[in-house]
Structure 1
Amino acid sequence: MSNYVLLIHGGAGQLPTDFLTAEREQAYIQQLSIVLSQGQQALAAGAKAEQVVVDAVAWLENCPLFNAGCGAVLTHAGTFEFDAALMLGNRQSGAVMAVKQCKNPIIAAQQVLHNSVHNTLAGPEADAWLLAQGVEQAPQDYFLTEHRLQQLQEARENQQVQLDHSDNGQVQQLLSQSSGEPSMGTVGAVALDAHGELAAATSTGGVTNQLPGRVGDSPIIGAGTLADQRSCAISGTGIGEYFIRYTVTAEIHYRMLLADQSLTEAAELVVNQNLPAGTGGVIAVDNHGHWTMPFNTTHMFRGVVTPKQLHAFIGK
């Protein structure tokens, strides 16, 4: 148990055996470690969980290694669409779906939380509102990287929808992996601050070659994101369709609240028994500082920082 905890993730999936070279592994570990170090400094100085998770996710959105913000995957139409959610332990939440113009979708979600009477805004109307609110915008070509364009071309040729980190046969009719580099995944952060407050944030660019307008689990409270002061803060990553069907983060919360299960027990059960194998994982911290990061894939890009440790991981 710690007086503050920050957990982050950069996606979960079945990585191709030849993908994770020593050079690539070092690059991912370095970026995750930078985010953790910044979060540790902020939390040690008394920063609130809300701003720590927003800053962590915004950093990952700005890193082209991950599928959120700059470096995100493309839709079938060759455009970028972003989903993000922020939830606080007091059950306030803000989310955006299918926005195209925000440089940092998680900051857009924070804007919705604080300055809109609604919980969720979507599509071009959301973009227009966010522009009027002064949220930083970026042209579509800001998000483009060459390997994402190559992924889209391959996925179109093979009539595939390509999931973050996927190279297995699981649900291949829904989401399958091309021969190219896997799309680096959904990003998220959860934190318990020194004031005892919880927060969760998740952001994603979706899946390669998805239909425009497709929305995954990341911006859906109770599916990919949840925070509740009575239990925990959770951010999920994996096949969004399954996280929605199984209401993953809500299931963990209610197992703790109603079945008196520990965070570890609830999260492990939902990820490893409820969810089909190879479909994802979660990062979660409870209101006492206990934390867990279970996943049922081969890899999950993730990290943890407390007053006594800072570690970034990729494999089991």
Structure 2
Amino acid sequence: MEPILLVHGGAGDITNARVSGKLDGIKTSVRRGFSVLKNGGSALDAVEEAVRSMELDENFNAGYGSCLNTNGEVEVEASIMIGDLKSGCVTLLHDIMHPISVARKVMEKTNHTFLGGEQAMQFAVNQNFEILPKGSLITQNAKDALAEFLDRQSKGLDTIFSPTELDKKEAPGEPGTVGAVAIDIHGNIAVATSTGGITGKIPGRIGDTPILGSGTYADNTIGGVSTTGHGETLMRFNLAQRILQKMFYEKVSAQEATEFTVKEMTKRLVGTGGAITISKSGDIGIHFSSKRMAWAYIKSNKLFFGINKGDSYVESA
């Protein structure tokens, strides 16, 4: 099987000023992750490496650079899944750079699938993850976004929790999540997704990212999907699972299933988002209903990438 790695850096109202950083970061991520596959490594190792790269980059809403809740704090969440249906999910972590790696430890070191809150933090400590000094994941961009959110709220304007407002002008702050989907030389599929959530969220809010079937899903008999966008919308629509089910039952391509399902979600629920998909045969799907979504993949020794609708740039891998 030809190895493939496909990544996204979040769907939303990405400003012109942030496009360059997004594209640089997404290409770095896909190259780091693909280096694992190129050397015969597993899809699981590849998606974790790709997501860890974006968790370190303030151009993305994951790890360092995550959005802030109304208390001015970072609460991160993540999920990881492999094609034999093993998975790990975490939510409401704080001061941990790589929630995706904590999610993997949940999958590998416990009899559970999902841990959250203080017990998830204790689990991370027990697994020797570094707990950073309080506030280490907060960037100036995240502070500015929260200030804008609170200002709009004080003026009685619709906030991030209003889907109709999302349709008109997406909420302030870094949008979306980061995610990766891979298939390795053995035909095994893995998916990883990580996020800081949405600016101005209520403390304790949980989004779609750590929820299997909404933010992440992998099944070696069908394919893998990682999603991004307005979490409340993605959760209610169960976007990742719907894409895979359309591929399975209707025998359509990854692109057709991804495009149809994302459009249907926004048509029914207004909120926008996007998804990346790889089928069990290596077929690729990419679509988003938001203004922009950074994406990239490496296949056949070429790196394909874009951020605006209609983009399809190619350079040497």
Q: With structure 1 as the length reference, what TM-score do the two structures score?
A: 0.90
1:87 to 81, 84, 98: 81
1:170-185 alignment to 2 at 5 Å? 170-172=163-165, 177=170, 182-185=173-176
Pick closer, same or farther for the CA change 1:174–1:20 going to 2, 3 Å.
Answer: closer
Pairing 1:283-298 to 2, within 5 Å after superposition: 283-298=276-291
| Root mean square deviation, CA, Å | 2.0
2:37 is the counterpart of 1:43:
yes
Contact 1:251 1:270 in 2 (8 A): yes
Alignment of 1:77-226 (within 5 A): 77-159=71-153, 161-162=159-160, 170-172=163-165, 177=170, 182-226=173-217
Q: Is the 8 A contact 1:67 1:205 kept in 2?
A: yes
Return the alpha-carbon distance in structure 2 between the equivalents of residues 80 and 176 of structure 1.
Answer: 24
**Alpha-carbon displacement from aligned partner over 1:150-188 (angstroms, at most 9, x marks no partner):** 21122122226448xxxxx9522899656x6x4143100
* Counterpart in the other structure of 1:309: 302
> What is the count of residue pairs matched by the alignment?
303
- Picking from 13, 16, 20, the partner of 2:16 is 20
5+ residue gaps in structure 2? Answer: 310-317
Query: Are the aligned partners of 2:160 and 2:166 in contact in 1 as well (CA < 8 Å)?
Result: no
Q: Residue 270 in 1 paired to residue 266 in 2?
A: no
| TM value normalised by structure 2 | 0.90
In the alignment, which residue of structure 1 is the partner of 2:250? 259
> Deviations for 1:274-313, whole angstroms, at most 9, x for unmatched residues?
3335601100101111111111122101111112310221
Higher relative contact order (CA closer than 8 Å, sequence separation 6+): 1
Greater mean alpha carbon deviation, residues 133-142 or residues 72-81: 133-142
Following TM superposition, by how much is the alpha carbon of 1:236 offset from its aligned partner in structure 2, in angstroms? 0.2
Q: Note the alpha carbon deviations across 1:45-66, whole angstroms, 9 max, x for none.
A: 1110001000110110110111
The yes-or-no answer on 1:52 pairing with 2:51 is no
**Letter of the aligned partner of 2:274 in structure 1?**
G
Q: 1:234 aligned to 2:225?
A: yes
Kept in 1, the 8 Å contact 2:79–2:90? The answer is: yes
SS at match of 2:278: strand
- Structure 1: how far apart are the matches of 2:164 and 2:99? 28
Which string of whole-angstrom CA distances, capped at 9 and with x for unpartnered residues, describes residues 45-104 of structure 1? 111000100011011011011111101111011111011000000100000011113220
CA distance, structure 1, for counterparts of residue 219 and residue 230 of structure 2: 23
1:247-277 alpha-carbon deviations (Å, 9 max, x no partner): 1111112222233333222212111123335
Distance 1:144 1:273 in 2: 35
Distance 2:10 2:93 in 1: 20
Whole-angstrom CA distance in 1 between matches of 2:68 and 2:84: 35
What is the SS of the residue equivalent to 1:52? helix
Shift of the alpha carbon at 1:12? 0.7
Once residues 84 and 304 of structure 1 are traced to their aligned partners in structure 2, the CA distance between those partners, rounded to angstroms, is 21
SS in 1 for 2:58: coil
User: Would you say 1:73 and 2:67 are equivalent positions?
Assistant: yes
Task: Quote the Cα distance in structure 2 between the aligned partners of 1:175 and 1:76.
Answer: 23
Instruction: Indicate conservation of the 8 Å contact 1:10/1:184, yes or no.
Output: no
The answer as to whether partners of 1:82 and 1:99 remain within 8 angstroms in 2 is yes
Q: Does 1:245 align with 2:236?
A: yes
Distance 1:130 1:196, change over 3 A: same
Alpha-carbon distance in 2 for matches of 1:174, 1:296: 10
1:140 partner SS: coil
Identity over aligned pairs, percent: 33
Following the alignment from structure 2 to structure 1, what is the Cα–Cα distance between the partners of residues 239 and 170? 24
C-alpha distance in 1 between matches for 2:215 and 2:67: 19
